[in-house]
Structure 1
Amino acid sequence: MTAYSLPGFNAHHRINALVLAGTRQGPKDRLAIHGGVSHKALLPIQGVPMVTRVVKTLASLPYIGTISICSEDPSLLQKAELEGYDFITAHSGPSASVLAGLHRLGTPLLVTTADHALLQADWVHNFITLQQKNPTDIAAAITSREHILKDLPFETQRTYLKLADGQFSGCNLFMLNTEKALSVVRFWQKLEAERKNPLKMAQLLGFRTLVLYLVKRLNRKAICQAIQRLTGATAQLTVLDTGFAAIDMDKPADLELADKIFKNNLLNPSLPA
């Protein structure tokens, strides 16, 4: 079994973690309906609720401290056999829930989602190790289209952000290293509030950023510079070398893909059984 360690982190100084397992307000999640469960987070992957897989993966890292599960329903812990773990009541949207997690757990804080069902300790450790080499207030894990095409022998539809330096997909892993990350989360709240108004979102992001994207000159560095300009917080987009990290469970096809990955033993043993 791999021994994971980080310089400066020990029993008295750990990274807390927040797992977002809430359900957006409105109609019941279609994937939860498809799987016949009360919450999408409880969907079984190879017989284990995916939120349980995520939490157990995080718990396998010795420098992870308190793990909080954020949901609107406290009974989720019992249903997922996670009694004893910390619980935070979900708010109206993911950004508000992350803000609540920050106030409760402080920084540094690792954030991921309950539907990150294939999450492995190696990915988390590599993400934290890579972004620590160039410390910033906040970091987000991404992976390239090339890695996804190389790692996944099955046809899969992913959402890509097309930048001047490549096409990338998010990995639902974030590190909030300092209190300045609060300003990024508050800005995220503003964007989330305007998600149905593209013009307003464009105004919030700034004319320069929009023009760079339209003329295909927006790259990762420019995005991080824009974040700093808009929030005062330094940021980085950390590229992971595995395409599997971009897979989350949003639709029935994703469940089928996860099943194929397990049946073909494509993941290494760091994922809990």
Structure 2
Amino acid sequence: MDTPSPAVSAARVAEPKYTGAPVRMIVLAGRDPRGTDALARSFGKTHKCLVPLAGRPLVAHVLQTAAVHPAIESLAISVEREAFEGLFDVLSQLPGRGIAKLVEARENLVDSVLAAAEGWDGPVLVTTADHALLTPASIDTMIAAMANADAAFAMAPRDAVLAAHPQHLHPFLEFADGAYASCNLYAAADPEALRAVEVFRGGGRFAGNAWGVLRAFGFVNLALLSLRAASLFDAAARVSRRIGQRLAPVVLHDGSQALDVDDAATHAAAEALLAQRPEPARAAVGTNRSRQALG
């Protein structure tokens, strides 16, 4: 794994926050506020997270991976209340120990993350319900990154992404050291570090939220990035200074980690890649996770 740039505030890095504490995984499963998702509609579902994939609802794949990971003791699924009933069956089948809860999605991404983190005082991982190919190795790498960072985000190099999914259509972010795709996987050493998500208030993806980018980078830094003059790690260092937190990019060389199940093509690609993997391990303790729904 690449290490954070030494340009990131050395004084802050000298006192890492993460101490190997249990982790809460937040899974964003809410519906696009602009309308019903086309993939969900094609399967007759109100929410994409309930679309079947390889014999199970889409969200079940990421939840299964998280539920059997030894570091994750709490799961919080952010989704509209109307989808609670459809997710109860998914939660009832989860192995492992700890708590899995449903949290009503808020009006925007930032408030949804903060609501899902409420009541938890340890490290947090955030991903999306369509991250069906999430691996334990990616979780391990993100947790390790928190030893020297307040927050971390995962990226995959273009060649690795295209090797796993040659038809990848989402735009790559261009930096001086190459092009990368977002893996929709984020980490925060504690709830205070979730302040970094305030950069994205107003919704939208990172690449499409112009005002969020301007607030994070500043006009000069944004110009440098637009000219591809900064490397990924230099860009992260600039944002770190801007928001007052150590923000570390984590490069995942498994290109499948950048595959979101968004449409029929990516659904087929994810199903094919899942078929190449061994069946996920089942925890010996069985389905004894505590489940609850919150308002």
TM-score (norm 1): 0.84
Unaligned runs of 5+ residues in structure 1 are: 1-6
2:155 aligned with 1:142: yes
Equivalent positions of 1:65-104 (< 5 A) are 65-73=73-81, 74-82=84-92, 85-104=100-119
State the match for 2:13 in structure 1.
none
Deviating beyond 3 angstroms after TM superposition, the runs of 4 or more aligned structure 1 residues are 81-84, 190-198, 200-203, 267-272
Whole-angstrom distance in 1 between the partners of 2:214 and 2:140: 36
Task: Tell me the matched-pair count.
Answer: 257
Whole-angstrom distance in 2 between the partners of 1:202 and 1:127: 23
State the match for 1:241 in structure 2.
253
State the AA in 2 paired with 1:51: V
Q: Deviation at 1:14?
A: 0.7
Equivalent positions of 1:19-34 (< 5 A) are 19-34=27-42
**Corresponding residue SS for 1:17:** strand
**Corresponding residue SS for 2:76:** strand
Q: Deviation at 1:196?
A: 7.6
Q: What CA deviation, in whole Å up to 9, does each residue of 1:54-94 have, x standing for no partner?
A: 11110111121111111112223225344872111111122
- Alpha carbons of 1:244 and 1:100: their partners in 2 closer, same or farther (altered >3 Å)? same
Q: Is the 8 A contact 1:183 1:232 kept in 2?
A: no
Q: Is the 8 A contact 1:24 1:92 kept in 2?
A: no
Whole-angstrom distance in 2 between the partners of 1:109 and 1:201: 22
Q: What CA deviation, in whole Å up to 9, does each residue of 1:185-206 have, x standing for no partner?
A: 12221575999874x4554231
Equivalent positions of 1:99-248 (< 5 A) are 99-129=114-144, 131-132=145-146, 135-152=148-165, 154-189=166-201, 192=204, 198=210, 200-201=211-212, 203-204=214-215, 205-248=217-260
CA RMSD of aligned residues (A): 2.6
Whole-angstrom distance in 2 between the partners of 1:258 and 1:218: 32
Q: Deviation at 1:214?
A: 2.3
The share of aligned pairs that are identical, in percent, is 27
State the AA in 1 paired with 2:247: A
Where relative contact order (Cα < 8 A, 6+ residues apart) is larger, the structure is 2
Q: Deviation at 1:258?
A: 1.5
